Structure 1
Amino acid sequence: MGNYRLIIAILLFFITEIIASIPSKAKIDSSSRLYIEAETGRYRIFHGLALENSGEPWYYATYSSEQIKLLKQWGLNVVRSGFHWHMVESSPGQYNESYIQDVVDFVSTLNESGVYVIMDMHQDLWSPLFCGGHGIPSFDAHPYNTSDYKRGGKKAYPLPVAEPKYDPSGNVINCQDVLGGLFGWATGYVTYSTGAAAQRLYDNDGGILDRFGKFWQLIASKLKQFPNVLGYELLNEPWLGNVPLSAEEFVPVNPHWNLWFPGVADKGNMKKLYETLHSYIREVDNDTIIFFEPATGGNFLDGFHSGFEEGPGGPGYNDKQALSYHVYCLGVDTKKASTFLQEVIANLSVASCDLLDDFLYDNRRDDVQRLSMAGFLTEFGNAGRGYVAEDIIDFATSKMDDFLHGWTYWYLTPDPNNLNPFEIKSLARPYVHALAGIPIKMNFDTNTRVFSLVYVPSDNETTFALQSEVFVSEYYQYPTGFETTMVPADSLKLTYDKTTYMMYWTHTTAAKLATEIEFTIQPKPTA
């Protein structure tokens, strides 16, 4: 009988560990605007990486088991996984089942590994139809069917960026003139054809937007079964639309004359886009969070507030929708500027970049508060190496701690042969994975290595009894060890796993009397 009980106890232990490692479906707490586990009521904060394949041959980028293990060793618990509509729908109504299965398999693997995922329909330069582009299928990315946009027309691709040059088959061959323009590869957006193609989508010209909705509906129907799907990011950095690119177009009689003005594209084009996609997704999945971005993302328009007055589902969906946003310090973070402009901006002080980024982050925080919803920084960084890059990452992640917003860093590929990439010193910072209470303040001082957390313990008896989880890396942050303090004293029963760098705790009876609990980690003094 004794051996039988021992076997049962061991089985229960492993079952409990397996259940604990499987993510719980997340929603948004409407009062705090923070992410919460739908089943348990524990609060969640997310730190992770962006993953995307934008090169040829086209395939769905994934992580190996070794890369996922490294991801978790760095304390990261979410992947923003880019995929492409043009790879899913090969021709109108015809879907690439093999590619879709790759998507499903990767989400399933992440689920089994205890890692959340944001599904990002990633576009850059709109479509493979345009130089270096990806995202929208070529058959739905044509500009208007008029002579202006055809070969020899005054708006033929890639005008006005460059005069088109063609091979004998009629393909544009001077893409280097486009991708090497004033704003680097992003110069490709300011062509007549790209703007017209984007506007056709927003206007549902020829049923394009409906096809986009059916694409998202298909993806949602395949992925809604996985509790680790944190959300669907509807469209990466959507272009403004058919913006005027010449003086003769910049007149009030042009219905799109004011799209360059801050917030106008959000109020018009983005609103139409997101509300339509929301409707299609909600027909098959009414639970998963929808992430939506302001127009363009991560550029000069972030110097202004977004034009959204509500999310695509209206205020009634604020527990299932969130504003996602990107912040880059132009010329330093993204290398989008010309060589000359890069040199000028890169020689500015780190403080200047911090000042700019601080302004941009505060804009997005204000937008989130005004909309009464959650926020998520789904792209930042890409700053190269050196002290400027380190400062940009530290500044951004500290700012997100202040906001209690999640983030996914662009761009780092886990490499089992390189356990200490430059960025990890900044990215593998202490933070809450799951908390049996409402986080009020969270901060990690990158100079002193002091981590502090203030939270209100849950008033729900069941949630109050659950385990909290905080990532604390001895390897990356506390090589000499660390010490902990708590107020009230003895309110938390702590354990630490040196193999996973996870700090666990449960509340003691002393915590029941506390209105707030303060928890601090600091480096152990050297002898």
Structure 2
Amino acid sequence: MNTISTFGKVFVDEFGRERVFKGFNIVDKRNFKGEDGEAKSFNFDFSDTFFERYKARGFNILRLGFSWDLIEPEPGKYNEEFLDDIGKILDKCAEQEIFVFLDIHQDCYSAHVHGNGNPAGATLIDKYKPRKPKLVWAELYFIGKAVHRAFDNFWDNREYNGKGLQDYYADMWKHMAEKFKDKPALFGFDFMNEPYPGKDGGKIFRKIVYKAIRVTLFDRDIKRGKLISDALHKDRRFQVLDHYTGDIFMKITSAGSALMKKFDVERYSPFTRKMTAAVREVTDNGIVFIDNSYWSNIGIPCSNLLIEVDGKKEPKQCFQPHGYDLMVDTPAYKYANNSRVGAIFAEHKRTQERLGIPVLVGEWGGGGEGTEWLPHVRYLLEVFEQNKWSYAYWHYSEGILDAPLSDVLARPYPKAVSGTVTDFVYDLEAETFTLTYDQDKVFDASTVIYTHKTPKDIVTDGEYTVEAIKNSNAAHVIIKTGVGKHNVSMKF
């Protein structure tokens, strides 16, 4: 497999080719001890059929998530059988040329406070009693005091059995890095899914609610008569949120900006530096990921700092934003609003420009009944492609590779480019794909373009071959070019 690193705002391989990655989240959210006993292997069948279908759809990376509880169910005692199985998955992925980044996944901290992720010993909630969510799982983030206290104690590095919680966490990551450092499929390390600011996260929620009320009542851009009419009309009720366009939505979420910045700078950034230092004690392999907080999923600016170790900038790091429309996780996902979610990812773009590192969108999308929500997915794909971003869709489920969603996701893109990409565009209606890039040297490896089906016509100034992808209509177009500016166009 190729060795992937970073250069400026793009991923590159050992040949210097610019790289783009697309794939899915595959996450095991179980605890170590469950109804079926102790978990000793990852809860997914990585079969040859899976890999064949995955590659045929153009996917070349996956976000492999699992909980801290699965890895270290008791302080200092690692679930080596489970880790051995992760190693086997990495080996299978290497055989299939699929890259993997490892994600320690949590939502609402831990099963011990009715979320999932972290072990009991790391769930220190003091006087607070866990409460079950009544409406949606995320309400524990909004009003769950036990969840807030558990996070605050983690960020404070509260001691358990004489050792800080973050110290356990860093040792866990160091242990995994040591175990997997030489795996060719290893792409990188995603230290914590959607870090949450604890008690301040609850304050952010209240500030956003109050700001939403004020904007609704007083902002001149809100057409209150039409909003009320839509709210009272049964068939138009879901259109109420369309009044909250991207600009208005950003006004509302900005209420949490100050508290979010405080968390990003004072809590999360020191954490990523601590985790990176632990990993780099045992290996220089793998890209380290900077995530945004849960609240930046809805567009609150992310103020995370670049990762430094011993005062020096970490050379292999990327930004992994997440972003969802308000309709995600609801039956009304078909009403997802492009303006709102576009504003969220525009904010993530500003963060990328500030940090100056590559982006791999770690979570986006969602799902719903029927196919009415698929144009929203197409819109986001176009945003990512304009920005030259990689992604991992949330999330993989049985049969999804044969579903209409995968027909949308499977579209032409440059997996590897011998030069600097200016742009690439897939026009669905015209059924055309174009790629423009500048090449400043002779490369030892070719440009590789994935196509969802064999092109009827290819125009390029280079020599090319078309290689069919096994048991599918898809193909790779391999192009060898020299120094200069190059344009590739295809018709399907």
Equivalence for 1:326: 322
Q: What CA deviation, in whole Å up to 9, does each residue of 1:352-395 have, x standing for no partner?
A: x1111111111111101111111110111112144442112111
Of 364, 367, 371, the residue aligned with 1:383 is 367
Distance of aligned partners of 1:362 and 1:334 in 2 relative to their CA distance in 1, 3 Å threshold: same
1:24 corresponds to 2:38: no
Equivalence for 2:174: 217
Q: What CA deviation, in whole Å up to 9, does each residue of 1:387-424 have, x standing for no partner?
A: 44211211111111111110011122354xx7621211
The offset of 1:299, in angstroms, is 3.6
Q: What CA distance in whole angstroms lies between the structure 2 residues aligned with 1:213 and 1:246?
A: 28
1:188 corresponds to 2:145: no
What secondary structure does 1:470 align onto? Answer: strand
Distance of aligned partners of 1:314 and 1:432 in 2 relative to their CA distance in 1, 3 Å threshold: farther
Q: What CA distance in whole angstroms lies between the structure 2 residues aligned with 1:372 and 1:403?
A: 13
**Which consecutive segments of 4 or more residues in structure 1 shift more than 4 A?**
55-59, 244-247, 312-316
The offset of 1:282, in angstroms, is 1.1
Q: Letter of the 1:444 partner, please give it.
A: Y
1:34 corresponds to 2:32: no
Of 352, 357, 360, the residue aligned with 2:344 is 360
Aligned counterparts, 1:114-125, within 5 A = 114-125=97-108
1:66 corresponds to 2:49: yes
Task: Indicate if the aligned counterparts of 1:328 and 1:334 stay in contact, CA closer than 8 A.
Answer: no
The offset of 1:286, in angstroms, is 2.0
Q: What CA distance in whole angstroms lies between the structure 1 residues aligned with 2:257 and 2:439?
A: 47
Of 482, 488, 491, the residue aligned with 2:456 is 482
Distance of aligned partners of 1:120 and 1:411 in 2 relative to their CA distance in 1, 3 Å threshold: same
Distance of aligned partners of 1:72 and 1:458 in 2 relative to their CA distance in 1, 3 Å threshold: farther
Distance of aligned partners of 1:244 and 1:504 in 2 relative to their CA distance in 1, 3 Å threshold: closer
Q: What CA distance in whole angstroms lies between the structure 2 residues aligned with 1:292 and 1:246?
A: 23
Aligned counterparts, 1:56-455, within 5 A = 57=36, 58=39, 59-62=41-44, 63-131=46-114, 133-144=115-126, 149=127, 155-158=128-131, 175=132, 178=133, 180-181=134-135, 184-189=136-141, 190-206=143-159, 207-243=164-200, 245=202, 261-296=259-294, 299-300=297-298, 303-313=299-309, 316-317=312-313, 319-331=315-327, 333-335=328-330, 348=335, 353-413=337-397, 415=399, 420-455=402-437
The offset of 1:305, in angstroms, is 1.6
What secondary structure does 2:184 align onto? Answer: coil
Aligned counterparts, 1:442-521, within 5 A = 442-459=424-441, 461=442, 463=443, 465-474=444-453, 482-486=456-460, 490-497=461-468, 499=470, 501-508=474-481, 511-512=482-483, 514=484, 516-521=485-490
The offset of 1:195, in angstroms, is 0.9
Q: What CA distance in whole angstroms lies between the structure 2 residues aligned with 1:436 and 1:363?
A: 30
**How many residues in Structure 1 have an aligned counterpart in Structure 2?**
429
Q: Letter of the 2:329 partner, please give it.
A: T
Task: Indicate if the aligned counterparts of 1:238 and 1:297 stay in contact, CA closer than 8 A.
Answer: no
Q: What CA distance in whole angstroms lies between the structure 1 residues aligned with 2:137 and 2:123?
A: 18
Distance of aligned partners of 1:437 and 1:28 in 2 relative to their CA distance in 1, 3 Å threshold: same
Task: Indicate if the aligned counterparts of 2:448 and 2:479 stay in contact, CA closer than 8 A.
Answer: no
Distance of aligned partners of 1:115 and 1:458 in 2 relative to their CA distance in 1, 3 Å threshold: farther
The offset of 1:306, in angstroms, is 0.7
Task: Indicate if the aligned counterparts of 1:240 and 1:265 stay in contact, CA closer than 8 A.
Answer: yes
Q: What CA distance in whole angstroms lies between the structure 2 residues aligned with 1:314 and 1:284?
A: 15
Q: Which runs of 5+ in 2 are unaligned?
A: 208-255
Q: What CA distance in whole angstroms lies between the structure 2 residues aligned with 1:449 and 1:107?
A: 36
Of 10, 15, 18, the residue aligned with 1:43 is 18
Q: What CA distance in whole angstroms lies between the structure 2 residues aligned with 1:197 and 1:191?
A: 10
Q: How does the TM-score come out when normalised to structure 1?
A: 0.76
Q: Which runs of 5+ in 1 are unaligned?
A: 1-22, 150-154, 159-174, 251-257, 336-341
Greater C-alpha radius of gyration: 1
Q: What CA distance in whole angstroms lies between the structure 2 residues aligned with 1:451 and 1:375?
A: 22
